[in-house]
Amino acid sequence: MENALATFSASTVTTILLLASTLYIQGVEGSIGVNYGTLANNLPPPAQVAHFLLESTIINRVRLFDASTEILRAFAHTGIAVTVTVTNDQIPHLTNIGFAQEWLKSNVQPHVRTTNIVRILVGNEVISTANKLLIASLVPAMQTLHAALVGASLDRRIKISTPHSLGILSSSSPPSGGKFRQGYDTHVLKPLLSFLRATNSPFMINPYPFFGSSPETLDYALFRSSSGAKSSIPTNPALVPSDCTGADVEALQRNIDYVCGMEMQYYTPIQEGGECFLPMMRAHAAFATNACYQGTYGKE
């Protein structure tokens, strides 16, 4: 029993810490959320995760990288706000109203009475894929899915957005001088922002504040006011940021490179030539850090 509890505790903490790359902080409500990723092993059942978050944490928001029926059922009657995701490969199909209605009917509507689904994300970091079909289909897919929500009378309860990496910026340092990449700014982001404004939906990014941080920038990474950060950003003093959400997405890749560069056998599947070597940063980050935990502590 003790071993089972230890495994559950370690796996739960690993899931929350490794895969919570997006932090939802709303100053008015004081709410905090985590990403619920499943790209790891030794993970506890969704029902245990939901119970743990509800009873042992102050976390009241969860983001899924898909629309898993098992996980949505696990969060039923918890009151925790759940965000589901339409995977990137489904985006072109979602521009068809029939497909959008069927997706909604199959993945969302069966759960709305019991699970607090508040948002649907259309893809993840779509612009950063550089896939012309996905990028061109993004806003039309969001509009079509919203029309399906309206038809189901769910548009007031469930909002639609899409998360971006900070790669959509041509410059992110200092954050006050950030600019959208030329081309995407008018052809993709302008209609996207118009849609978000019209539907009262949030503009979302995936910040990675902890990767690449140091003791000197810890306050900055933890969203605490830091005078140290100001000295390195000699710009308009009225626009000095108080945290590092403006850090560029390449910090995640540096974290992967660091972990995979360690001389340990656990990382060979995601190194070049390995059976899982693919340019999927989020999957590699989850794999690498979980492998580090398993290799270091899993046998104790």
Give the predicted TM-score (pTM) of the model: 0.68
Answer yes or no: CATH 3.90.1150.10 is held by domain 2-207.
Answer: no
- From the list 53, 64, 51, 46, the residue with the least C-alpha distance to 31 is 53
Mean pLDDT of the chain: 74
Most confident of 9-18, 71-80, 289-298: 71-80
pLDDT tens by residue, 189-247: 889 999 999 999 998 988 776 666 677 766 666 666 655 444 444 444 444 444 444 44
Length of the chain (residues): 300
d(CA 42, CA 152): 38
d(CA 106, CA 248): 36
Q: Per-residue confidence at 123, pLDDT binned at 50, 70, 90?
A: very high
Q: Per-residue confidence at 147, pLDDT binned at 50, 70, 90?
A: very high
Token readout for 134 is: 């996905």
Q: In this structure, what DSSP letter does residue 239 have?
A: G
Token readout for 200 is: 């009262």
Distance set, CA 190 to CA 24, 82, 152, 180, 196 (Å): 24, 27, 27, 10, 10
Whether 293 shows a pLDDT value over 60: the answer reads no
* Helix/strand/coil for 110: helix
Question: Do the Cβ atoms of 40 and 20 come closer than 8 Å?
Answer: no
Task: Provide the residue ranges of all domains of the chain, joining segments of one domain with +.
Answer: 2-207
Peptide bond into 174 cis (omega under 30): yes
- The phi, psi pair for 101, rounded to 5°, reads -65, -40
Q: Per-residue confidence at 49, pLDDT binned at 50, 70, 90?
A: very high
* DSSP alpha helix (H) spans, the chain: 2-19, 46-56, 69-74, 97-107, 132-151, 184, 190-199, 218-221, 227-230, 250-260, 281-297
Token readout for 88 is: 């990137």
Q: Per-residue confidence at 148, pLDDT binned at 50, 70, 90?
A: very high
**Count of CB atoms within 10 A of residue 31's CB?**
14
Bridge partners of residue 82, in order along the sequence: 62, 117
Distance set, CA 53 to CA 16, 21, 48, 236 (Å): 10, 17, 9, 41
pLDDT tens by residue, 25-38: 333 345 678 899 88
